[in-house]
Amino acid sequence: MPNTRAKQINNRPMASRNYSSSSSSSSSSSSSYSVSRVSSPKSTMSKPSTMISNDDTIYTPSQEYSQQCHVKSYSEYQEMYQHSITNPSEFWGKYGSSLISWFQPFTNVMSGNFVNGDITWFQNGKLNVSYNCIDRHLETKKDKIAIIYEGDHPDHVRKITFYELFLETCRLANLLKSLGVRKGDTVAIYMPNTPEAIYSMLACARIGAIHSVIFAGFGFDSIVSRVQDANCKIIITADEGVRGGKTIPLKKKIDEVAIHCPSVQKVIVFKNTGGPIDFHPAKDIWAHEVMPEQPPYCPCEVLDSEDPLFILYTSGSTGKPKGLVHTQAGYLLYTTMTHRYVFDIQENDIYACVADVGWITGHSYIVYGPLSNGTTTFIFEGTPLHPTPSRYWEMVERHKITQFYTAPTAIRSLMKYPVSYAEKCNKSSLRVLGTVGEPINPEAWRWFYKYVGEDRCPIVDTYWQTESGGHLVAPLPGGIPTKAGSATFPFFGIKLSVLDPQTGKEMSGNNVEGVLCVNNSWPGIARTVYRSHTRYLTTYMKPYPGYYFTGDGVKRDQDGYYWIQGRVDDVINVAGHRLGTAELESALVGHNSCAEAAVIGYPHDIKGQGILAFCTLKHGFEDTEDIVSSLKIEVRKIIGPFATPDVIIITPSLPKTRSGKIMRRILRKIACHESTPEQLGDISTLAEPEVVQFLIDKVTACLPKHH
């Protein structure tokens, strides 16, 4: 933990303005945050800092709010953090014993050398993750709601108790066993965001099968590569999914996949929409027909702490996805801990994460973290704009949601619309807001804070990765003052280092920027890449020997706050100036006309790389020369003349996956005039694939080919 002025933040005199909500009737939603502005020392750097924001406003939790939280002050956070760093075995051993239920206790908290890829956590401990998420809660929480599901249509709501979750998970686990699935076998899950996806994950965990959840927006090639690499015996899917009023033919895709995957023996099909499908009796099984005949009890497999729990594939720089392997005990404890402390989970909370189960966010913060904590977790099959842009906030009002966790992309898409969509809904139940997936620009942060959090809910801006299993950097609602756009400080047990990207040397003190690394292990770290441990070491441990390399750039400001700047391969080198795309995008979105921006570098004959920005405008603004000019002026003003975009293309939308991730890879190819279907690759995962041709035409018209 850096020795910084931030250690004295709680002792600073606060500004006279205090924010409170008059609409809240509960003490947990009372006045929570005060705001102060501190002056920043002048930079001694020879060029402008690439910090995402120059705004030093600090949002500090009130004493009244903090006293209701698990961590009640910054000093308490520091004390716990220092304990986790100076004596990790004692720290993690304490929480491993108290937060996890064991069939056989562990004999050693941690051993091995994580930079050599041989780290183990909770050695010789025996447990079952499904038991920890369900069975242990039945004595006291049998009738408590475990899952609230809301479908694409607002009236499609289901509530599942912990006991009902237990019965359905056991029936599906017994069905898998009847099909010959055993400990160590792999099962692919290609499902919409429904409770049945959760049953499937927990059923695999119950019998020791390794699940590989595949995002339901992926197309043929992406599914086949994942099923083949993991050698999956079974695929669990649904007839169809529904998002934004559109039907997604999941079973139809799996029919094509199964032909090319000889390892697949059976396909289990859940009925979601009831739409027509091709049913193949030799291979397909209707879940609703066979599960009721299965016994409603399935004993838990006793598993070792280091047995694999799941494989989750993430994009690789070579184009071949990496199957990251997470194990039982360390992953479960880390998701349980981060969920409990970062969202400040209390007994009667209704916690909502609106991510997809196909990504690590869904694994850790829809399924395993919440259910391990005995929390009511919310799963959503729809989109934030359907049927109206108030959908998210209507869900908050309808279900009295207390924590709401979403992506900056979703927030920016909602910023296009009048604030009345958010203001008309009763959001007094909210206590904590969260963001995930990418650095959040300060403008979106402040919009979220003001119009959703009503100037009273802290925002936990979480930085982490598929590889980390859980949050690496995030504020604690009652204990860490926040800055708009900063992920703030590391979670317990995470020792961060900022390295010079050229020399690999650690940069001490504050007001430094470089690549973000971690120089110690933590329980949630992925242990390997499936069937390619060398690739694991090459990707994460070898670029900067002695450190885990996150692949992201970072700024540590004068207060020791961390500002994530995006992937280091998302850096544009313009005539010797290294510019983070997140910084440029933040400056553009800071303009009152711009709802969202994606910035990439493109080949430039003179500068090496030019700056190309794709911008979507807020409702009421039109594509004019004046708008483009004012956007360029905004970047000049915020960053400097050298950062002025060479070309700005106004577009009605950006190429995004159905989960909201911008596919910058496609933008880069278009900018390089690599726009044939073979060059672009699979674009079936995009929410609006038609935007690709629009962008190709635009780039062709305004960008010369590089010579």
Which secondary structure element, helix H or strand E, spans residue 698, and what is its range?
A: helix 691-702
Region for residue 180 given its phi and psi (left: phi exceeds 0; alpha: psi -120 to 50; beta: otherwise): left
pLDDT at 479 over 50: yes
More confident site: 14 or 386: 386
Helix (H, G, I), strand (E, B) or coil at 176: helix
For the segment 586-606, the average pLDDT, to the nearest whole number, is: 89
Please provide the DSSP assignment of 631-693 as one string.
HHHHHHHHT-GGG--SEEEE-S---BBTTS-B-HHHHHHHHTT--SHHHH---TTBS-TTHHH
Pick the residue with more confidence: 8 or 546? 546
Task: With cut-offs at 50, 70 and 90, classify the pLDDT of residue 162.
Answer: very high
Give the C-alpha separation, 385 to 366, whole Å: 21
What local confidence, expressed as pLDDT, does residue 136 receive? 98
Work out the average pLDDT over 195-202. 98
List the structure tokens of 83: 């304990």
The yes/no answer on whether domain 575-702 falls in CATH 3.30.300.30 is: yes
3-state secondary structure of 430: coil
Mean pLDDT, residues 194-199: 98
How does the average pLDDT of the chain come out, rounded? 89
432-435 and 459-461: which strand pairing?
A: parallel
Using CA atoms, how far apart are residues 617 and 615, in angstroms rounded to an integer?
6
Sign of CA dihedral 86, 87, 88, 92: negative
Question: What is the phi/psi pair of residue 284, to 5°?
Answer: -90, 150
Q: What pLDDT does residue 11 have? A: 32
What is the C-alpha to C-alpha distance for residues 53 and 51, in angstroms, rounded to an integer?
A: 6
Q: List, in sequence order, every beta strand (DSSP E) within 92-238.
A: 108-111, 120-123, 126-127, 145-150, 157-161, 186-190, 210-213, 234-238
pLDDT at 36: 53
Distances (CA, A) of 672 to 348, 605, 682, 696, 704: 53, 13, 17, 10, 10
- Span 94-110, pLDDT tens digits: 999 999 999 999 999 99
> Which amino acid would we find at residue 643?
A
CA angle in degrees (0–180, nearest 5) for 424-429-433: 90
- The DSSP code for 82 is H
**Integer Cα distance of 115 and 306 in angstroms:** 17
The stretch 34-39 carries a mean pLDDT of 48
- The residue with greater pLDDT, 284 or 223, is 284
pLDDT at position 16 over 70: no
Name the residue among 483, 457, 484 with its Cα closest to residue 586: 484
Q: What is the pLDDT of residue 543?
A: 94
Average pLDDT over residues 532-538: 95
pLDDT at residue 637, rounded to an integer: 84
Instruction: Report whether 382 contacts 151 (CB < 8 A).
Output: yes
| Residue 558 CA: distances (Å) to CA of 119, 164, 195, 343 | 34, 51, 45, 26
Structure letter (DSSP) for residue 544 = S
d(CA 264, CA 227): 8
pLDDT at 428: 98
- Res. 220 pLDDT band, cuts 50 70 90: confident
pLDDT band at 20 (very low <50, low <70, confident <90, very high): very low
Q: Identify which of 307, 322, 308 has the alpha carbon closest to the alpha carbon of residue 226.
A: 322
pLDDT band at 247 (very low <50, low <70, confident <90, very high): very high
Place of tokens 């009925």: 271
Question: Global pTM?
Answer: 0.83
242 with 248: CB under 8 angstroms?
yes
Residue entry with tokens 């702490």: 305
Distance CA 605, CA 610 (A): 9
Does 336 have pLDDT greater than 90?
yes
Cross-strand partners of 248: 241
What beta strand segments (E) does 74-171 contain? Answer: 108-111, 120-123, 126-127, 145-150, 157-161
Provide the pLDDT confidence category of residue 26 given band limits of 50, 70 and 90: very low
pLDDT surpasses 80 at 399: yes
Q: Which two tokens stand for residue 134?
A: 């369900």
DSSP SS3 for 534: helix
User: For residue 496, what are the β-bridge partners?
Assistant: 518
Residue 575: predicted pLDDT: 64
Residue with the bigger pLDDT between 393 and 56: it is 393
**Residue pair 535/543 in contact by the 8 Å Cβ criterion:** no
Burial of 102 (0-12, 13-18, 19+ CB in 10 A): middle
Nearest to 270 by CA among 286, 294, 291, 254: 286
- Note the pLDDT of residue 55: 63
Q: What is the pLDDT of residues 601-652, one digit of tens each?
A: 888 877 778 899 999 999 999 999 999 999 999 998 877 787 899 999 999 9
Output the pLDDT for position 577. Answer: 65
Antiparallel, parallel or unpaired: β 432-435 and 126-127: unpaired
- DSSP conformational letter for 16: S
User: What is the structure's pLDDT at 32?
Assistant: 59
Region 64-86: mean pLDDT is 97
User: For 400-439, b where at least 16 C-beta lie within 10 A, e where not — what string?
Assistant: ebbbbbbbbbbbbbbbbbeeebbeebebbbbbbbbbbbbb
Segment 242-266 mean pLDDT? 96
pLDDT of residue 221: 80
Query: Is it the case that residue 13 has pLDDT exceeding 70?
Result: no
651-676 tens-digit pLDDT? 999 998 776 778 888 998 899 898 88
The mean pLDDT of 213-236, rounded to a whole number, is 91
- Looking at residue 9, what is its pLDDT? 35
DSSP 455: T
Q: Where are the beta strands (DSSP E) in 407-545?
A: 432-435, 459-461, 496-499, 512-518, 528-529
**Domain boundary assignment for the chain:** 575-702
Cβ atoms of 260 and 226 closer than 8 Å: no
Total length of the chain: 707
> If you average pLDDT over residues 425-440, what whole number do you get?
95
The predicted model gives 239-262 an average pLDDT of: 95
User: How many other β-carbons are positioned within 10 Å of the β-carbon of residue 284?
Assistant: 19
Residue 130 scores a pLDDT above 80? yes
Contact 32, 458 (CB under 8 A): yes
Amino acid letter, residue 692:
V
Between strands 186-190 and 234-238, the pairing is parallel
Confidence grade of residue 149 (pLDDT, cut at 50, 70, 90): very high
Distance between start and end Cα atoms, the chain: 48
- Cα Rg of the chain, angstroms: 24
Alpha-carbon gap, residue 441 to 463, rounded angstroms: 13
Sign of CA dihedral 39, 43, 47, 53: negative
| pLDDT surpassing 60 at residue 25 | no
CA distance 482 to 561: 9
pLDDT for res 437: 86
Confidence band for 574, pLDDT divided at 50, 70 and 90: confident
Per DSSP (E only), the strands in 115-197 are 120-123, 126-127, 145-150, 157-161, 186-190
On the 0-12 / 13-18 / 19+ scale of CB atoms within 10 A, 578 is middle
Overall average pLDDT of the 339-356 stretch: 97
- Model confidence at 35, pLDDT cuts 50, 70, 90, reads low
Longest dimension (CA), the chain: 72
More confident residue, 72 or 702: 72
574 vs 572: CA distance, rounded Å: 6
Is there a contact between 557 and 510 (Cβ–Cβ < 8 Å)? yes
pLDDT for 14 equals 28
User: Which string of b and e fits 598-609 if b means at least 16 CB within 10 Å?
Assistant: bbbbbbbeebeb
Nearest 5°: phi and psi at 581? -65, -30
Cβ atoms of 495 and 518 closer than 8 Å: yes
Neighbours of 457 (CB within 10 A): 26
| pLDDT over 60 (residue 354) | yes
